[in-house]
Protein backbone atom coordinates (compact mmCIF):
# COMPACT_ATOMS: atom_id res chain seq x y z
CA UNK A 1 0.00 0.00 0.00
CA UNK A 2 1.07 3.58 -0.64
CA UNK A 3 2.63 5.41 2.28
CA UNK A 4 1.66 8.80 0.88
CA UNK A 5 -0.73 10.12 -1.76
CA UNK A 6 0.76 12.00 -4.73
CA UNK A 7 -0.83 15.13 -6.15
CA UNK A 8 -0.23 17.73 -8.86
CA UNK A 9 0.54 21.02 -7.11
CA UNK A 10 1.43 23.24 -10.10
CA UNK A 11 1.31 23.30 -13.90
CA UNK A 12 3.49 25.06 -16.45
CA UNK A 13 3.54 25.16 -20.22
CA UNK A 14 5.38 26.56 -23.21
CA UNK A 15 4.69 26.79 -26.92
CA UNK A 16 6.96 28.56 -29.45
CA UNK A 17 5.91 31.89 -30.93
CA UNK A 18 6.10 30.80 -34.59
CA UNK A 19 2.78 29.56 -35.97
CA UNK A 20 2.47 27.16 -38.89
CA UNK A 21 -1.07 27.56 -40.16
CA UNK A 22 -3.03 25.41 -42.56
CA UNK A 23 -2.68 28.19 -45.11
CA UNK A 24 1.11 27.97 -44.75
CA UNK A 25 0.91 24.22 -45.39
CA UNK A 26 -1.17 24.83 -48.51
CA UNK A 27 1.97 26.38 -50.01
CA UNK A 28 4.15 23.41 -49.01
CA UNK A 29 2.13 20.28 -49.85
CA UNK A 30 -0.99 19.28 -51.75
CA UNK A 31 -3.60 20.05 -49.10
CA UNK A 32 -5.96 22.82 -48.03
CA UNK A 33 -7.33 24.44 -44.90
CA UNK A 34 -10.84 22.96 -45.18
CA UNK A 35 -9.55 19.43 -45.67
CA UNK A 36 -7.19 19.63 -42.69
CA UNK A 37 -9.85 21.01 -40.36
CA UNK A 38 -12.46 18.45 -41.44
CA UNK A 39 -10.04 15.53 -41.00
CA UNK A 40 -8.12 16.64 -37.91
CA UNK A 41 -9.63 19.73 -36.29
CA UNK A 42 -6.27 21.49 -36.49
CA UNK A 43 -6.02 25.12 -37.62
CA UNK A 44 -2.42 25.87 -36.65
CA UNK A 45 0.52 24.43 -34.78
CA UNK A 46 3.61 25.97 -33.14
CA UNK A 47 7.12 25.40 -34.50
CA UNK A 48 10.41 26.05 -32.67
CA UNK A 49 12.60 27.76 -35.24
CA UNK A 50 15.20 29.48 -33.06
CA UNK A 51 18.73 28.29 -33.97
CA UNK A 52 20.37 26.27 -31.22
CA UNK A 53 17.11 25.67 -29.35
CA UNK A 54 15.72 22.17 -28.82
CA UNK A 55 13.32 20.20 -26.64
CA UNK A 56 15.12 21.11 -23.41
CA UNK A 57 14.58 24.82 -24.10
CA UNK A 58 10.81 24.37 -24.18
CA UNK A 59 10.84 22.01 -21.20
CA UNK A 60 12.86 24.40 -19.05
CA UNK A 61 10.43 27.25 -19.78
CA UNK A 62 7.46 25.07 -18.83
CA UNK A 63 9.17 23.87 -15.66
CA UNK A 64 10.17 27.38 -14.60
CA UNK A 65 6.55 28.47 -14.79
CA UNK A 66 5.38 25.55 -12.66
CA UNK A 67 8.03 26.19 -10.02
CA UNK A 68 7.27 29.92 -9.95
CA UNK A 69 3.53 29.35 -9.51
CA UNK A 70 4.16 27.05 -6.58
CA UNK A 71 7.03 29.03 -5.08
CA UNK A 72 9.26 25.96 -5.14
CA UNK A 73 13.03 26.26 -5.02
CA UNK A 74 14.68 24.22 -7.82
CA UNK A 75 17.08 22.86 -5.20
CA UNK A 76 14.13 21.05 -3.60
CA UNK A 77 13.38 19.05 -6.75
CA UNK A 78 14.56 15.46 -6.34
CA UNK A 79 13.64 13.83 -9.66
CA UNK A 80 13.03 15.10 -13.20
CA UNK A 81 11.12 12.77 -15.54
CA UNK A 82 11.16 13.90 -19.17
CA UNK A 83 8.75 12.18 -21.55
CA UNK A 84 9.96 12.75 -25.10
CA UNK A 85 10.74 11.09 -28.43
CA UNK A 86 12.77 14.10 -29.57
CA UNK A 87 15.57 14.39 -27.00
CA UNK A 88 18.24 17.01 -27.51
CA UNK A 89 20.72 14.19 -28.12
CA UNK A 90 20.74 10.40 -28.05
CA UNK A 91 22.53 10.82 -24.73
CA UNK A 92 22.86 12.25 -22.16
CA UNK A 93 19.20 12.28 -21.20
CA UNK A 94 17.39 15.56 -21.81
CA UNK A 95 16.12 15.34 -18.21
CA UNK A 96 19.66 15.98 -16.98
CA UNK A 97 20.00 19.02 -19.23
CA UNK A 98 16.69 20.35 -17.91
CA UNK A 99 17.81 19.88 -14.29
CA UNK A 100 21.06 21.72 -15.03
CA UNK A 101 19.31 24.66 -16.68
CA UNK A 102 16.79 24.90 -13.84
CA UNK A 103 19.48 24.82 -11.18
CA UNK A 104 17.96 21.63 -9.79
CA UNK A 105 21.38 20.34 -8.81
CA UNK A 106 20.05 17.94 -6.19
CA UNK A 107 17.89 16.07 -8.70
CA UNK A 108 18.51 13.00 -10.80
CA UNK A 109 16.47 12.37 -13.90
CA UNK A 110 15.73 10.24 -16.90
CA UNK A 111 13.96 10.33 -20.26
CA UNK A 112 10.92 8.19 -20.93
CA UNK A 113 10.11 7.36 -24.54
CA UNK A 114 6.55 6.09 -24.97
CA UNK A 115 5.60 8.48 -27.78
CA UNK A 116 2.19 10.10 -27.21
CA UNK A 117 1.65 8.06 -24.03
CA UNK A 118 4.92 9.31 -22.57
CA UNK A 119 3.46 11.85 -20.16
CA UNK A 120 0.84 9.34 -19.03
CA UNK A 121 3.56 6.80 -18.20
CA UNK A 122 5.80 9.47 -16.66
CA UNK A 123 3.02 10.81 -14.45
CA UNK A 124 2.24 7.33 -13.17
CA UNK A 125 5.93 6.68 -12.47
CA UNK A 126 6.36 9.97 -10.62
CA UNK A 127 3.26 9.36 -8.52
CA UNK A 128 4.45 5.88 -7.58
CA UNK A 129 7.81 7.31 -6.51
CA UNK A 130 6.07 9.75 -4.16
CA UNK A 131 3.65 7.11 -2.88
CA UNK A 132 6.63 4.98 -1.87
CA UNK A 133 7.86 7.66 0.51
CA UNK A 134 11.24 7.92 -1.20
CA UNK A 135 10.63 11.37 -2.74
CA UNK A 136 8.70 14.55 -1.97
CA UNK A 137 9.00 16.76 -5.08
CA UNK A 138 9.16 15.54 -8.67
CA UNK A 139 8.86 17.32 -12.01
CA UNK A 140 7.13 15.40 -14.80
CA UNK A 141 7.56 17.00 -18.20
CA UNK A 142 6.10 16.12 -21.58
CA UNK A 143 7.99 17.77 -24.41
CA UNK A 144 8.47 17.18 -28.11
CA UNK A 145 9.96 19.11 -30.97
CA UNK A 146 8.12 17.13 -33.61
CA UNK A 147 9.17 19.53 -36.35
CA UNK A 148 12.64 17.96 -36.11
CA UNK A 149 11.38 14.53 -37.24
CA UNK A 150 8.55 15.47 -39.61
CA UNK A 151 8.82 15.31 -43.40
CA UNK A 152 7.14 18.48 -44.65
CA UNK A 153 6.68 16.85 -48.02
CA UNK A 154 4.50 14.12 -46.47
CA UNK A 155 1.00 15.55 -46.20
CA UNK A 156 -0.22 12.60 -44.12
CA UNK A 157 1.99 13.57 -41.17
CA UNK A 158 3.11 17.19 -41.58
CA UNK A 159 -0.42 18.51 -41.04
CA UNK A 160 -0.69 16.80 -37.65
CA UNK A 161 2.27 17.69 -35.49
CA UNK A 162 3.58 20.70 -33.60
CA UNK A 163 6.13 21.60 -30.92
CA UNK A 164 5.52 22.30 -27.25
CA UNK A 165 6.12 21.40 -23.61
CA UNK A 166 4.05 20.96 -20.48
CA UNK A 167 5.13 20.30 -16.90
CA UNK A 168 3.54 19.33 -13.61
CA UNK A 169 5.03 19.45 -10.13
CA UNK A 170 4.18 16.38 -8.06
CA UNK A 171 4.22 16.51 -4.26
CA UNK A 172 2.84 14.62 -1.31
CA UNK A 173 -0.84 15.42 -1.01
CA UNK A 174 -2.00 17.51 1.90
CA UNK A 175 -5.35 15.72 1.99
CA UNK A 176 -7.06 12.85 0.16
CA UNK A 177 -6.88 14.47 -3.29
CA UNK A 178 -4.40 13.29 -5.89
CA UNK A 179 -3.45 10.22 -7.90
CA UNK A 180 -5.87 7.33 -7.57
CA UNK A 181 -5.37 4.73 -10.29
CA UNK A 182 -3.78 3.94 -13.67
CA UNK A 183 -4.35 1.37 -16.37
CA UNK A 184 -1.38 1.23 -18.77
CA UNK A 185 -0.65 -1.00 -21.77
CA UNK A 186 1.81 -1.69 -24.56
CA UNK A 187 1.75 -3.84 -27.69
CA UNK A 188 4.86 -4.13 -29.85
CA UNK A 189 2.79 -5.44 -32.76
CA UNK A 190 1.78 -1.85 -33.41
CA UNK A 191 5.31 -0.71 -34.25
CA UNK A 192 4.76 -1.43 -37.95
CA UNK A 193 2.02 1.21 -38.12
CA UNK A 194 3.64 4.11 -36.26
CA UNK A 195 7.39 4.50 -35.97
CA UNK A 196 10.59 6.24 -36.91
CA UNK A 197 12.77 3.54 -38.43
CA UNK A 198 16.17 5.19 -38.65
CA UNK A 199 18.70 6.26 -36.04
CA UNK A 200 18.55 3.31 -33.63
CA UNK A 201 20.79 0.28 -33.30
CA UNK A 202 18.56 -1.68 -35.69
CA UNK A 203 19.00 0.83 -38.50
CA UNK A 204 21.92 3.15 -37.64
CA UNK A 205 22.20 6.49 -39.36
CA UNK A 206 23.80 6.28 -42.78
CA UNK A 207 23.66 8.02 -46.13
CA UNK A 208 21.10 5.43 -47.19
CA UNK A 209 18.78 5.98 -44.19
CA UNK A 210 18.86 9.74 -44.81
CA UNK A 211 18.13 9.24 -48.51
CA UNK A 212 15.23 6.91 -47.68
CA UNK A 213 13.79 9.41 -45.18
CA UNK A 214 14.00 6.84 -42.39
CA UNK A 215 14.53 9.58 -39.81
CA UNK A 216 11.01 10.93 -40.18
CA UNK A 217 7.77 9.81 -38.56
CA UNK A 218 5.92 7.09 -40.45
CA UNK A 219 2.23 6.53 -39.78
CA UNK A 220 -0.39 4.23 -41.28
CA UNK A 221 -3.42 6.21 -40.23
CA UNK A 222 -6.31 3.75 -40.42
CA UNK A 223 -5.04 1.01 -38.05
CA UNK A 224 -3.70 3.69 -35.70
CA UNK A 225 -7.11 5.39 -35.57
CA UNK A 226 -8.93 2.15 -34.79
CA UNK A 227 -6.42 1.04 -32.16
CA UNK A 228 -6.37 4.48 -30.51
CA UNK A 229 -10.13 4.69 -30.04
CA UNK A 230 -10.38 1.09 -28.85
CA UNK A 231 -7.40 1.32 -26.49
CA UNK A 232 -8.36 4.59 -24.82
CA UNK A 233 -12.01 3.56 -24.51
CA UNK A 234 -11.14 0.21 -22.91
CA UNK A 235 -8.57 1.68 -20.51
CA UNK A 236 -10.96 4.42 -19.41
CA UNK A 237 -13.79 1.96 -18.84
CA UNK A 238 -11.40 -0.23 -16.82
CA UNK A 239 -10.56 2.74 -14.59
CA UNK A 240 -14.25 3.56 -14.10
CA UNK A 241 -15.19 -0.03 -13.30
CA UNK A 242 -12.26 -0.57 -10.96
CA UNK A 243 -13.10 2.56 -8.97
CA UNK A 244 -16.90 2.10 -8.99
CA UNK A 245 -17.33 5.37 -10.85
CA UNK A 246 -20.09 6.38 -13.22
CA UNK A 247 -19.46 8.52 -16.29
CA UNK A 248 -21.59 11.22 -14.73
CA UNK A 249 -19.09 11.57 -11.87
CA UNK A 250 -16.26 12.60 -14.21
CA UNK A 251 -15.59 16.34 -14.13
CA UNK A 252 -12.97 16.40 -16.89
CA UNK A 253 -11.60 14.08 -19.54
CA UNK A 254 -8.06 14.98 -20.63
CA UNK A 255 -7.52 13.14 -23.92
CA UNK A 256 -4.42 12.97 -26.06
CA UNK A 257 -4.70 15.60 -28.79
CA UNK A 258 -3.96 13.47 -31.85
CA UNK A 259 -6.95 14.11 -34.04
CA UNK A 260 -10.31 15.74 -33.35
CA UNK A 261 -12.13 12.81 -34.95
CA UNK A 262 -10.44 10.45 -32.48
CA UNK A 263 -11.40 12.69 -29.56
CA UNK A 264 -15.01 12.96 -30.74
CA UNK A 265 -15.32 9.24 -31.42
CA UNK A 266 -13.87 8.39 -28.00
CA UNK A 267 -16.09 10.79 -26.06
CA UNK A 268 -19.17 9.68 -28.02
CA UNK A 269 -18.41 6.06 -27.11
CA UNK A 270 -17.98 7.09 -23.48
CA UNK A 271 -21.08 9.31 -23.62
CA UNK A 272 -19.15 12.21 -22.10
CA UNK A 273 -20.53 15.75 -22.73
CA UNK A 274 -18.23 17.84 -24.93
CA UNK A 275 -18.04 20.58 -22.30
CA UNK A 276 -16.23 18.13 -20.00
CA UNK A 277 -13.51 17.35 -22.57
CA UNK A 278 -10.29 19.38 -22.71
CA UNK A 279 -9.42 20.33 -26.29
CA UNK A 280 -6.68 22.56 -27.71
CA UNK A 281 -5.64 20.58 -30.80
CA UNK A 282 -6.98 23.37 -33.02
CA UNK A 283 -4.18 25.69 -31.83
CA UNK A 284 -1.26 23.36 -31.15
CA UNK A 285 -1.78 20.22 -33.24
CA UNK A 286 -0.36 16.97 -31.89
CA UNK A 287 2.58 17.81 -29.62
CA UNK A 288 3.03 14.11 -28.75
CA UNK A 289 4.16 13.81 -25.09
CA UNK A 290 3.21 17.43 -24.41
CA UNK A 291 -0.51 17.26 -25.25
CA UNK A 292 -1.84 16.19 -21.85
CA UNK A 293 0.07 18.71 -19.70
CA UNK A 294 -0.64 21.47 -22.24
CA UNK A 295 -4.34 20.74 -21.80
CA UNK A 296 -3.92 21.19 -18.04
CA UNK A 297 -2.01 24.42 -18.70
CA UNK A 298 -4.82 25.80 -20.85
CA UNK A 299 -7.66 24.69 -18.56
CA UNK A 300 -6.00 25.16 -15.18
CA UNK A 301 -8.10 28.17 -14.18
CA UNK A 302 -11.28 26.14 -14.68
CA UNK A 303 -10.19 23.36 -12.35
CA UNK A 304 -11.49 23.15 -8.80
CA UNK A 305 -10.20 21.26 -5.81
CA UNK A 306 -11.70 17.78 -5.76
CA UNK A 307 -12.49 17.67 -9.49
CA UNK A 308 -12.27 14.13 -10.88
CA UNK A 309 -10.02 13.92 -13.94
CA UNK A 310 -9.52 11.07 -16.39
CA UNK A 311 -6.38 11.24 -18.54
CA UNK A 312 -6.12 8.98 -21.56
CA UNK A 313 -3.60 8.67 -24.39
CA UNK A 314 -2.42 6.45 -27.20
CA UNK A 315 1.01 6.40 -28.82
CA UNK A 316 3.30 4.64 -31.25
CA UNK A 317 4.53 1.20 -30.46
CA UNK A 318 1.61 0.80 -29.53
CA UNK A 319 1.30 2.33 -26.05
CA UNK A 320 -1.88 3.47 -24.31
CA UNK A 321 -3.69 3.84 -21.03
CA UNK A 322 -5.73 5.98 -18.64
CA UNK A 323 -5.16 7.67 -15.29
CA UNK A 324 -7.66 8.78 -12.66
CA UNK A 325 -6.82 11.53 -10.18
CA UNK A 326 -8.61 14.19 -8.19
CA UNK A 327 -7.45 17.80 -8.48
CA UNK A 328 -5.63 19.02 -5.38
CA UNK A 329 -6.09 22.80 -5.44
CA UNK A 330 -8.35 25.63 -6.52
CA UNK A 331 -6.51 27.05 -9.48
CA UNK A 332 -7.99 30.51 -9.26
As a CATH number, domain 179-326 is 3.40.47.10
- Matching CATH topology for 6-172 and 179-326? yes
Q: Are the beta carbons of 286 and 116 closer than 8 angstroms?
A: yes
Q: Where are the domains of the chain?
A: 6-172, 179-326
From the list 109, 47, 115, the residue with the least C-alpha distance to 84 is 115
- Indicate the pairing of strand 108-112 with strand 79-83: parallel
The verdict on whether 215 is a catalytic residue reads no
**Which position among 22, 61, 259, 286 bears the catalytic label?**
286
**Which position among 158, 256, 259, 295 bears the catalytic label?**
256
**Which position among 116, 127, 158, 167 bears the catalytic label?**
116
Residuewise pLDDT in 10s, the chain (332 residues): 789 999 999 999 999 999 999 999 999 999 999 999 999 999 999 999 999 999 999 999 999 999 999 999 999 999 999 999 999 999 999 999 999 999 999 999 999 999 999 999 999 999 999 999 999 999 999 999 999 999 999 999 999 999 999 999 999 999 999 999 999 999 999 999 999 999 999 999 999 999 999 999 999 989 999 999 999 999 999 999 999 999 999 999 999 999 999 999 999 998 999 999 999 999 999 999 999 999 999 999 999 999 999 999 999 989 999 999 999 999 87
From the list 286, 37, 320, 280, the residue with the least C-alpha distance to 145 is 286
- Indicate the pairing of strand 163-172 with strand 137-145: antiparallel
pTM value is: 0.97
Q: Are the beta carbons of 135 and 171 closer than 8 angstroms?
A: no
The verdict on whether 237 is a catalytic residue reads no
The per-residue b/e assignment along 214-236, b for 16 or more CB within 10 angstroms, e otherwise, is bbbbbbeeeebbebbbebbbbbb
Q: Which fold has domain 6-172?
A: Peroxisomal Thiolase; Chain A, domain 1 (3.40.47)
Q: Would you state the pLDDT for residue 254?
A: 98
Q: Would you state the pLDDT for residue 293?
A: 98
Amino acid sequence: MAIYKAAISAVGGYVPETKLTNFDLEKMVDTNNEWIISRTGIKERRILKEPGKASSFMAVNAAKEALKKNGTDPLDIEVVICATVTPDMRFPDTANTIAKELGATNAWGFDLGAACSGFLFGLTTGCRFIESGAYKKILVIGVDMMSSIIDYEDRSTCILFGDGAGCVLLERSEDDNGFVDADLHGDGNGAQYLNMRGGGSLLPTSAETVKNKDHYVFQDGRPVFKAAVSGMKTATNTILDRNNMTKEEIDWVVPHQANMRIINTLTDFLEIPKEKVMVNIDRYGNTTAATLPLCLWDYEKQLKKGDKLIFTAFGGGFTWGSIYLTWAYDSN
